[in-house]
Amino acid sequence: MTAFQLPRRAALAFAVIFVIAIGLTTRLLSIGWSPIVAKYLGSLLWGVMVYCLVAWLRPALRPTAVALVASCVAVLVEFSQLWHQSWLDDFRATRLGVLLLGRFFAWADIAAYLVGIAAAAGIDPFRLKAARPDTG
């Protein structure tokens, strides 16, 4: 590890925070992006965030395994929007609920999540290494 490299888990934690910050900016109305760009860029970034969280939780998994788990999580969260319980709908009505779980099921959201997850797996630095990742 050179002086400029972070341990894998620290880099993933930083990536999660960075992606969340960028994702939140896509939802700000003052930026002036079209609603479609803001929505699907936000969904794509949500997929990247899920990938990074899974990789942070399980740093020894290969990127393809992380992508598979992250894809399952993302698809399950999207399909959960078809399940309506008053307490869950009340949470989804909050800003945090919308950001974490969404409100309405959409196949296009699943596509955006999967594109984000695939992009994250494609640039995962561990993908380029043969050595076991740093779990620090």
Residues 6+ apart with CB under 8 A from 62: 126, 127
Q: What is the mean pLDDT of residues 5-21?
A: 88
Determine, yes or no, domain membership for 135.
no
Mean pLDDT of 10-14: 91
CB 32 within 8 A of CB 100: no
pLDDT grade for 131, boundaries at 50, 70 and 90:
very low
DSSP string across 89-104: HHHHTSHHHHHHH-SS
Go through 90-105 and write b for each residue having 16 or more CB atoms within 10 A of its CB, e for each that does not. eebeeeeeeeeebeee
Query: Which tens digits make up the pLDDT trace of 53-85?
Result: 999 999 889 999 999 999 999 999 999 989 989
Q: How far is residue 55 CA from its own chain's centroid?
A: 11
Give the pLDDT band (50/70/90) at residue 98. Answer: confident
* Residue, of 85 and 35, whose pLDDT is higher: 85
Average pLDDT over residues 38-63: 92
| 1 in any annotated domain | no
| DSSP states of 32-72 | ---HHHHHHHHHHHHHHHHHHHHHHH-TTS-HHHHHHHHHH
95 lies in a domain? yes
In a domain, 76, yes or no: yes
Residue 114 lies inside a defined structural domain of this protein: yes
Q: Quote the number of domains for the chain.
A: 1
pTM over the 0.85 mark: no
Range of the domain at 101: 8-124
Please report whether residue 60 resides in a domain: yes
